[in-house]
Amino acid sequence: MADNKPNLLIIPGDGIGPEVIRETSRVIEWFETNRKVTFHITHGQLGVAAYHDVGAMTPDNTLDKARKADAILFGAIGGDGYEDIPIEVRREDGLLALRKKLGLFANIRPAVAFDELLDASSLKPEVVRGVDLIIVRELSSGIYFGEPRGIEDLGNGIQRGFNTMQYTTPEIQRVARLSFELARGRRNQLCSIEKSNVLETSKLWRAEVRKLHQAEYSDVDFKELIVDAGAMELIRNPKQFDVIVTGNMFGDILSDAAAMLTGSLGMLPSASLSEEDESGRRNAFYEPVHGAAPDIAGNDIANPLAAILSFAMSLRHSFDAEAEAELLESAVRNAVAGGNRTADIKGDATQTISTTQMTDAVIDSLNRLAA
């Protein structure tokens, strides 16, 4: 870019995506006005609405823009009309395909329990108070993408469905490396989760992560768990975890469980990152963990905080603006501490506020923190 501003591609998507992204854009404007962070912002389409509009879930020009963007901020995909789209189209042209095409191998899903929201968790407050963990889920390989896959006819009315679980050494090493690095920047603990007592894929996973630990990251406090025990520990004593690294399908399952520890899916952001190219640039995709929530879309009642916190993650991981990321995270914390509640995090509160009002509260906190 001639003016050196980083490229930010904004894709509202489906369901509540457009409204939480609209509100996040107000926060982005606040940073452009009040801090030295400015962007070249472009917009794109992706999802069900795009499919019905232009016949592709990921239109070509969205993919082009995505390849050039320094960060992509995405709302949600799915909802009304999703089931009508053929499954091959969903697989080859939807979110999964985009993850693959952009090489987004590392999905970073933090789960942080806010003290003020402990009553929203289904677990005892003493179990979840202070939870602050990150699941790094491998996102572009494993059983989600392994070939062969399919459903075949065996005759006599019998069919066989099959998928292939697979990991190569470089695929394991790059996600493990990123996770060790992440741990070093936090409480310096990493737990690798797999099923090495049964699966060859996991045996290789365990051997490779161990090797990397010994060779380059022996300063990191490292442990390993088999996935069933890992799931149990996540519910029994989540505070023992700092960073967890795991494969695609285990990560899909464990990250939903971890999300529920905090009791508030509406609060959880995520980042998906590719490898760096020669110039140090990576593809980076930021999205709230909650989905399209079509049942509440368009009513201005959705919680915008997961989308706003996803923008905070982009400040940290894509825009080299750690101080700004922390500022925004503090503003969100203060807004919640001040008693502002959307319906999803109502807990024992008597009053709830709208999507727009929650954003007002965040911007208020930003103004106060910046004063």
Query: 93 an active-site residue?
Result: no
Catalytic residue among 64, 115, 119, 256: 256
Q: Is 14 in the site for Mg ion (CB under 5 A)?
A: no
Residue 239: CB minimum distance to ligand IPM, A = 24
Number of C-beta neighbours around residue 226 at 10 A: 16
Query: 100 an active-site residue?
Result: no
Q: Is 138 in the site for Mg ion (CB under 5 A)?
A: no
Query: 256 an active-site residue?
Result: yes
Alpha carbons 276 and 255: distance in angstroms, whole number: 25
Residue 11: CB minimum distance to Mg ion, A = 19
Nearer to Mg ion, 152 or 256 (CB): 256
Q: What tokens appear for 155 in the block?
A: 């005759």
Query: 70 an active-site residue?
Result: no
Residue with nearest beta carbon to ligand IPM: 252
Alpha carbons 7 and 33: distance in angstroms, whole number: 17
Query: 252 an active-site residue?
Result: yes
Nearer to ligand IPM, 96 or 199 (CB): 96
Catalytic residue among 228, 277, 295, 320: 228
Residue 266: CB minimum distance to ligand IPM, A = 16
Catalytic residue among 70, 252, 300, 344: 252
Residue 287: CB minimum distance to ligand IPM, A = 8
Nearer to Mg ion, 69 or 273 (CB): 273
Interacting residue ranges for ligand IPM, rule: CB under 6 A: 96, 252
Q: What tokens appear for 7 in the block?
A: 């490229």
Residue 95: CB minimum distance to ligand IPM, A = 6
229-258 residues in contact with Mg ion (CB under 5 A) are 252
CA 189, 266, 315 angle in degrees (round to 5)?
Answer: 60
Residue with nearest beta carbon to Mg ion: 252
Which active-site residues does the annotation give?
144, 195, 228, 252, 256
Positions that interact with Mg ion (CB under 5 A): 252
